[in-house]
Amino acid sequence: MRSLSIFGATGSVGEQTVDLLRRAGGAEAFRVVALTGGRNLSRLADMARELRAEVAVCADALGLPELRERLAGSGVEAAAGPEAIAEAADRPADWVMSAIVGAAGLVPGIRALRHGAVLALANKESLVTAGPLLMAEAAQHGARILPVDSEHSAIFQALVGEDIAAVERIILTASGGALRDWPLEALAKATVSDALAHPNWAMGQRITIDSASMFNKALEVIETREFFGVEPEQIEVIIHPESLIHSMVGYRDGAIMAHLGAPDMRHAIGYALNWPARAELPVARLDLAQVATLTFRAPDLARYPALRLARAVMARRGLAGAAFNAAKEVALDQFLAGGIGFMEMAGVVEAVLEAMDADLGRENATMSLEDVQAVDHLARIRAAERAGEIARGRAGAGRWT
């Protein structure tokens, strides 16, 4: 029986993974080793009971008594805290879904690679912060990383049977997010609920806002570079409002291979779950006559400074990705808390990258987990300082206007 674990089981990707497992036979068909969650203890406990997991782990150590109570009599072990999540990743499983949001997903992913698992990677932040490290761990332990981001799954599928040396360019599609059609001058006033109204995809809160600012696409550009090993100049971004082409690979003979499908993450998750086979999946089939038109437009860098910053990160390489991601996470927290405006997030990230230039000079080859964590920590402090300055500036301006 195939064994598997899901990190971030209570989130959007986690829930959709559980949905696919349930349809494929659930606890009768899979041996579920570990399920982890953050704050949603009731959902975590329900899933762990349903799938008869060996262990359920929540991120907050203070949640342990409640989790134990919810699992009483089920035979599922309860554990809590970041170290317990990392230890859950040490338990061998054939297939591991990495769907924790943010930098917290990095350590469990690395630990799962160390026992040679197939790592289905939704947590793009792992590749952005520590791509060379992750790829080296996979190579050293004979593990396999499969992309779960829909764009990267599309690229992976468009590359099957092809030689990466024949690739001229990779074209990432972007929906443009909730604020795609807003006038540029209105973006500064966009609220959290404005940015959450995604036109096509139902996703977690953080990635939905990152989609509106295109920080999500910026992460994906860097993820593409790290995962497929192509040069930054080979990676293009195009806005495709219908979100039906999930990405494309352009070959040196001029051919472009595009991956089309309904905007439903269960395709990419299911592809990784069944790889290298294809299994029947519960996703809507496209009626192309009904679709009729596919449209594209070039992204405007004034609206999406995150895309420009992604290029700067790739030019710096090394630990710049860790600084970028950490600063972006803090800027997003500050936007969610009302401290800074929508367009000020990029300013925070840019200031951190500039301030840390001297600290980021290490070569990829010498990157260690400790280096990544140190840069992540420092970038968070710098980003919080910069966001605080902006917030104080706003409060000061507000007093006199």
Query: Cβ contacts of residue 237 below 8 Å, gap of 6+?
Result: 171, 172, 173, 174, 217, 221, 299, 307
Q: What's the rounded Cα separation, in Å, for the pair 120 and 320?
A: 24
C-beta of 40 vs 274, nearer to ligand NDP: 40
Residue nearer to ligand NDP on the CB measure, 147 or 390: 147
- For the bound state, the minimum distance from the C-beta of residue 345 to ligand NDP, rounded and expressed in Å, comes to 16
CB of 313 to ligand NDP, least distance (A): 16
Which residues in 384-393 are b (16+ Cβ under 10 Å) and which e? bebbeebbee
Q: What is the C-alpha separation between 155 and 160, in angstroms, rounded?
A: 9
Q: Which is nearer to ligand NDP, 188 or 381 (CB)?
A: 381
Q: Which is nearer to ligand NDP, 122 or 143 (CB)?
A: 122
173/390 with CB nearer ligand NDP? 173
Cβ-based nearer residue to ligand NDP, 123 or 175: 123
Measure the CA–CA gap between 56 and 47, rounded to whole angstroms: 9
For ligand NDP, the closer of residues 38 and 390 by Cβ is 38
- Minimum CB separation of residue 117 from ligand NDP in Å reads 17
Q: Is 316 exposed, middle or buried (0-12, 13-18, 19+ CB in 10 A)?
A: middle
Give me the least distance between CB of 106 and ligand NDP, in Å please: 10
- For ligand NDP, the closer of residues 14 and 339 by Cβ is 14
The enclosing H or E element of 35 equals strand 30-37
In angstroms, give the least distance from the CB of 7 to ligand NDP.
Answer: 7
Structure tokens that stand for 132 in this block? 């060379």
Q: How far is the CB of 335 from ligand NDP (least distance, A)?
A: 15
Comparison of 36 and 341: residue with beta carbon closer to ligand NDP: 36
Q: Taking the mean position of all CA atoms in its chain, how far away is CA 157?
A: 18
What spatial distance separates the first Cα and last Cα of the chain, rounded to whole Å?
A: 67
* Residue 44: closest CA among 12, 20, 67: 67
Question: Alpha-carbon distance 123 to 148, whole Å?
Answer: 8
If the CB atoms of residues 124 and 351 are measured against ligand NDP, the closer one turns out to be 124
**Chain residue at closest Cβ approach to ligand NDP:** 11
Binding site for ligand NDP (CB under 6 A): 8-14, 37-40, 59, 85, 99-101, 104, 122-125, 149, 201, 203-204, 206-207, 265
Least CB distance from residue 192 to ligand NDP, whole Å? 14
How many CB atoms lie under 10 A from the CB of residue 275?
Answer: 17
Helix, strand or coil, per DSSP, at residue 331? helix
Smallest gap, in angstroms, from Cβ of residue 393 to ligand NDP?
Answer: 30
Question: Radius of gyration of the chain from Cα atoms?
Answer: 21
Torsion over CA of 42, 48, 51 and 55, rounded to 10 degrees? Answer: 170
Quickly tell me which residue has 């600290």 as its tokens: 359
SS3 content of the chain, % helix, strand, coil (to 5): 55, 15, 30
Nearest distance from residue 147's CB to ligand NDP, in Å? Answer: 9
> Shortest gap between Cβ of 39 and ligand NDP (angstroms)?
4
Of 15, 50, 52, whose CA–CA distance to 32 is shortest?
A: 52
